[in-house]
Amino acid sequence: MALRDQIRIMVVDDMSTSRGLITQALDAFGVRSISTAENGKEALKLLATYPVHLVISDYNMPEMDGLQLLHHLRSQPKTKGVGFVLITGRAEQQIIDHGKKLGMNNYLKKPFEPASLRNCIEAIVGKL
């Protein structure tokens, strides 16, 4: 069975358009198990009952930004090993450096092409 048939991915973004673009790209890659959340707090609630292998999260969100979500994931035994991709329109070096210190696996600058998203994911989990 291919990795794309088994992997579970959560997309976290406060903009429905962005969530839609990412989930469409994942679907085009053949990923079937995709969940979504509008912000970090909602993501944490969902992850408690629906664990995933990879979180793709926007940086700038209300209530809990992407790096705060990453910090929460890395501080909990059940989620510390979850892959994490930060997607941001503000790929400033200090944001990227802070994400790396927290344990971010990869990042992608908005706007992005689906091929870039695929490469970003495959660098973490292997070939989809």
Q: What is the CATH number of the domain that holds 76?
A: 3.40.50.2300
Residue 86 lies in a domain: yes
Q: Which of 21-30, 34-43, 69-78, 84-93 has the lowest mean pLDDT?
A: 84-93
pLDDT of residue 1: 76
* 17: phi then psi, degrees, rounded to nearest 5: -60, -45
Nearest to 108 by CA among 125, 120, 94: 120
Contact between residue 36 and residue 12 where contact means Cβ atoms under 8 Å apart: yes
Q: What is the average pLDDT value for the chain, to the nearest integer?
A: 95
Residue 3 lies in a domain: no
pLDDT band at 5 (very low <50, low <70, confident <90, very high): confident
pLDDT of residue 75: 97
3 state SS of 102? helix
Residue 24 lies in a domain: yes
Residue 2 lies in a domain: no
pLDDT band at 126 (very low <50, low <70, confident <90, very high): very high
pLDDT of residue 39: 95
Task: Give the chain's domain count.
Answer: 1
Instruction: Classify 106 in phi/psi space as left (phi over 0), alpha (psi -120 to 50) or beta.
Output: beta
Segment 50-95, tens digit of pLDDT? 999 999 999 999 999 999 999 999 999 999 999 999 999 887 899 9
- The set of residues, in sequence order, having a beta carbon less than 8 Å from that of 79 and lying 6+ positions away, is 47, 51, 72, 73
